[in-house]
Chains A and B, each alone.
Chain A
Amino acid sequence: MDLHATKAREAVIPTATMADIAFLLIIFFMLTMTFEVDKTRVSLPETVVRMEVPKKAAYISVNEAGQIKVSSGDELSVPVAGSEDVLSFAANVVAKDPGKEFVIKADEDVPYRTVDGIIDALKRANVEVIYLLSRAEAQEGS
């Protein structure tokens, strides 16, 4: 009887393609990652109509306690005292870039008077377009 000698097989897991997959994921994350200039945690109002906010827009955030933070879109947001500070901040930004868009990121429960003061300051600073940041309205049954 002719018996073949059993070949010793090495127990190797092929990992060569793992790096390809991993680098593909890295590229995905690097491309989709956006630098968030304002990290204020707020409960945004829900809307159906939603437009894409320009990437380099200036941010004005208002948290539930009514604290206001501003960012020109290039650096992290900093707290300001009130709407008069928003006016001087917006006037400076508009002086450098007259077409600059502003985003209001306000908590849905904040009293309207705070947002009213901000909108008024932006109007006085000759801002042309503002965006009221929102989250997508939850569909019924979902």
Chain B
Amino acid sequence: MKLSRESKISDEIPTSSMADIAFLLIIYFMITTTFAATQGLDFQLPQDQDETPQVEKEESVLIEIQPSGQLVVDGQPMELDRVLEYLKPKLERNPLKPVIIRPDPSAPYGAMVNVFDELRQAEEKIGLQIRNISIPTQREIEAFWF
């Protein structure tokens, strides 16, 4: 009697297609992943208080931003990298010296961020922290300033 030889069945788990599936998923994630910007400048907004702190305009340092992005600090045109140098003696006399940033409505938003960023670096650059930075809105300026 002629018996057919038993075919040898492999006892391995077929994993060759697993890599295909895995790489397909990798490609999907690589295409859909966006490295979104997740950092920025934090800005504490003033809260409604019973007693609104009054800041005298004469006591504070006023940084105006012109429509062209140029700065005028206490009435004098100034470059951004000179602002902290100008503020240093004032902050040494009064560490709570208020600094007001007042951008022109037509000025680019980036110019305001540059000034705010520079003021936030005061501790590293001049060794003094500016504790009182305010950016009044146009409505506040019209309501309380004039």
Indicate which residue in B19, B34, B112, B121 contacts A15 across the interface (CB closer than 8 Å): B19
Indicate which residue in A49, A62, A105, A112 contacts B107 across the interface (CB closer than 8 Å): A112
User: Which residues of chain A from 33 to 62 have any CB-CB distance to chain B below 8 Å in the complex?
Assistant: 33-34, 36, 39, 44-53, 62
User: Which residues of chain B from 90 to 146 have any CB-CB distance to chain A below 8 Å in the complex?
Assistant: 103-114, 116-117, 120-121, 135, 137-140
| Chain B interface, >50% SS class | mixed
Which residue from chain B places its CB closest to the CB of A118 in the assembled complex?
A: B137
Quick check: B105 and A19 within 8 Å, CB to CB? no
Indicate which residue in A45, A108, A129 contacts B44 across the interface (CB closer than 8 Å): A129
Q: How far is the CA of A26 from the CA of B139 in the complex (A)?
A: 51
Quick check: B109 and A107 within 8 Å, CB to CB? yes
| Chain A interface, >50% SS class | mixed
Quick check: B113 and A123 within 8 Å, CB to CB? no
Quick check: A103 and B40 within 8 Å, CB to CB? yes
Q: How far is the CB of A50 from chain B (nearest CB, A)?
A: 4
**Highest count of chain A CB atoms <10 Å: which of B15, B39, B46, B109:** B109
Quick check: B117 and A49 within 8 Å, CB to CB? yes
Any A CB within 8 A of the CB of B11 = no
Quick check: B138 and A120 within 8 Å, CB to CB? yes
Stretch at the interface among A3-11, A71-79, A132-140: A132-140
Quick check: A19 and B18 within 8 Å, CB to CB? yes
Which residue from chain B places its CB closest to the CB of A26 in the assembled complex?
A: B25
Which residue from chain B places its CB closest to the CB of A124 in the assembled complex?
A: B139
Any A CB within 8 A of the CB of B16 = yes
B residues less than 8 Å from A32 (CB atoms): 33
Q: A19-B22, A48-B117, A111-B108 are in contact. Are A116 and B15 (CB under 8 A)?
A: no
Quick check: B104 and A112 within 8 Å, CB to CB? yes
Quick check: B36 and A36 within 8 Å, CB to CB? yes
Q: How far is the CB of A65 from chain B (nearest CB, A)?
A: 13
Q: A19-B15, A45-B113, A128-B47 are in contact. Are A113 and B39 (CB under 8 A)?
A: no
Q: A19-B15, A45-B110, A123-B45 are in contact. Are A113 and B105 (CB under 8 A)?
A: yes
Indicate which residue in B23, B105, B107 contacts A22 across the interface (CB closer than 8 Å): B23
Which residue from chain A places its CB closest to the CB of B120 in the assembled complex?
A: A49
A residues in contact (CB < 8 Å) with B:
15-16, 18-19, 22-23, 25-26, 29-30, 32-34, 36, 39, 44-53, 62, 103, 105-117, 119-120, 122-123, 126-136
Nearest first, the 5 closest Cβ-Cβ pairs linking A and B are A108-B110, A22-B22, A29-B29, A113-B105, A120-B137
